[in-house]
A and B are shown apart, each in its own frame.
Chain A
Amino acid sequence: MTFEDIFESIEVISHFKEGSLKPLRFKWNGRVYKVRQMNGHWVSHQGYNKQYHFSVISDSSDYFELLFDSSDFEWQVARVCLGG
């Protein structure tokens, strides 16, 4: 099992509710992944801006770390797990 840093922009369908944010589906490398399980999330601060990190398991049972940057409202795949 190895982890790869990716940091590629992606399209995400997400849910905002009562001040919290949750990714639901995302498209990476031409494939749509559904978020099956949210393992946890954390916030890192970049000056006044925040980066929201989400550790998720997709419907394909792959692990992803997704990142939402509040400075430009962009989503990225930050890290993936290769092999299992």
Chain B
Amino acid sequence: MQTGKFQRLILHIDADAFFASVEQGFNPLLRGKPVIVGGRENQRGVVHTASYEARACGIYTGMALGQVRSQCPEAVFLKGNYEHYRAVSRVFQEVYLRYTPAVEFTSLDDAYLDMTGAQHLYPSPEWVAKAITTEVFAKTGVGLSVGIGSSKLIARIASGLKKPRGMVHVPAGEERSFLAGLPVDVLPGIGRGAKDKLTDLHIFKVKELAALPRIVLEQLFGKNGVKLWELANGYDERPVQRRIIPGQISRETSFEEDTGDITIIKGALQYLTERIAKKLREQDLAGRTLSVKIRYSDFRRNAKSRSLNSPTNNGSEMYHQAFQLFEEICLRRIRLRHVGVSISNIEPLNYQSFLFNDKSRQEALNRAVDDIRDRFGFMAMLPADNLELKRKYRMEPHGYILHNPALTR
């Protein structure tokens, strides 16, 4: 609900089953067939995206690939190609930015468009939504669902209501009635734990949540309770930000086969931290808290985090910390199937704080490495340990094609 002078107008645009839609859009042989992106049927791993035809057979994201065939004999399995999806996402961006400069890209396939200042240029928000979805479909074959509302919350929920290729417009002033009948878990911040708590209180719908006194939610969920109460009542003033600082950047991979080979594990950790460091430097960001997680071949997991003395985007510093963490958590003599590294507490790079220390040489080196990679591709320059991965993975100029190519970036 908007209290300011101008009524905000936000579009949330979300691609339907994005990876599978891209594959179907670029290959007519796949249209109308149940498409699974994530890997081969005999490969370990899970479904990353299932087309709507596959979903109709009961296939869902996160399902083990090995289970798919029994439920959906016609399924077509694809490994996927992240570079392809990124190229298609760039087409989306070009189209969106022609309608408004205020676009927040939250992932490859969804974005918020703030049309508040541009709405006088077009006949109606529905007209804009139709024009965008038609153009994107013509160029890529990918269907989009659009939600239109006065806030990011309303637009996001609306875009999910009529998938695929749906459009839902919630007029200003009708936010409360729109939310009232929806289940509580449509609200961001309500996960399984929070939903269970509310179920215990016999609260199932947003209107029941909205009717609670604010202080009750605060007592139940702490600071998040206040936010939740506001969202349940339709208050969401979050702006559409052209640049968002991610809460976390993570890179992880499953090994093709379980491994206890420390050179492969070190190579993977170093490669993953290098990719995170590059991502941070691309966006002039640095992160303070590093986490490593592992999964053993018997599926037991372990993870550990550590805060660094100062924020960093230096790959070698991150790798040394990551390897220390790995040594602290990898105590069982069992092979590993999965490793992951992530960095959180991300903040914009503050050059001022680094003026009088010895980091400038390392920064100059990183800049030189980035320049070389910009010109010749990421793999033009790698720490030597990374080359161990060549024994296991296909190497392309932009990186190794890891276990799940759909997610390899």
Contacts and interface: CB of A to CB of B under 8 A. Distances in A.
Interface stretch (A12-20, A24-32, A40-48): A40-48
Interface string B376-395: 11101000000000000010
Nearest to B380: A47
A33 to B, nearest CB: 15
Contacts of B88: 42
Interface in B1-52: 25-30, 33, 40
Contact of B376 (A1, A37, A47): A47
Interface in B165-195: none
B311 to A, nearest CB: 28
Contacts of B28: 37, 39, 57
**Residue among A37, A45, A47 with the most chain B CB within 10 A?**
A47
Chain A contact-residue range equals: 20 to 34
A21 interface: no
B373 interface: yes
B77 interface: yes
B87 A47 contact: no
Given A44-B83, A46-B396, A46-B398, A63 B27 contact: yes
Contacts of B78: 3
A44 B398 contact: yes
Dominant secondary structure at the A interface: strand
B260 interface: no
B69 interface: no
B162 interface: no
Given A55-B26, A55-B27, A57-B28, A46 B397 contact: yes
**Residue among B29, B33, B78, B377 with the most chain A CB within 10 A?**
B29
A84 B376 contact: no
A81 interface: yes
Interface in B40-92: 40, 76-79, 83-84, 86-88
A65 B85 CA distance: 15
Nearest to B30: A1
B25 A40 contact: yes
A58 to B, nearest CB: 12
Interface in A42-71: 42-49, 53, 55, 57, 63
Chain B contact-residue range equals: 20 to 34
Contacts of B315: none
B403 to A, nearest CB: 14
A49 B205 CA distance: 53
Given A1-B76, A3-B78, A46 B26 contact: no
A48 B27 contact: no
A39 B27 contact: yes
Interface in B352-386: 373-378, 380
A1 B29 contact: yes
A81 B28 CA distance: 12
Contacts of A45: 398
Given A55-B26, A63-B29, A81-B29, A42 B87 contact: yes
A47 B377 contact: yes
A46 B377 contact: yes
A45 B84 CA distance: 10
27 contacts: A1-B30, A1-B33, A2-B76, A3-B79, A5-B394, A39-B26, A39-B27, A39-B28, A40-B26, A42-B84, A42-B87, A44-B84, A44-B86, A44-B87, A47-B376, A48-B375, A49-B376, A49-B377, A53-B84, A53-B87, A55-B26, A55-B27, A57-B28, A63-B27, A63-B29, A81-B29, A84-B29
Which 7 pairs show the lowest CB-CB distances between chains A and B?
Answer: A46-B397, A42-B87, A47-B377, A44-B83, A47-B376, A46-B377, A55-B26
Given A39-B27, A42-B87, A63-B29, 12 more contacts: A1-B29, A1-B30, A1-B76, A3-B78, A42-B26, A44-B86, A44-B87, A47-B374, A47-B377, A47-B378, A49-B377, A63-B27
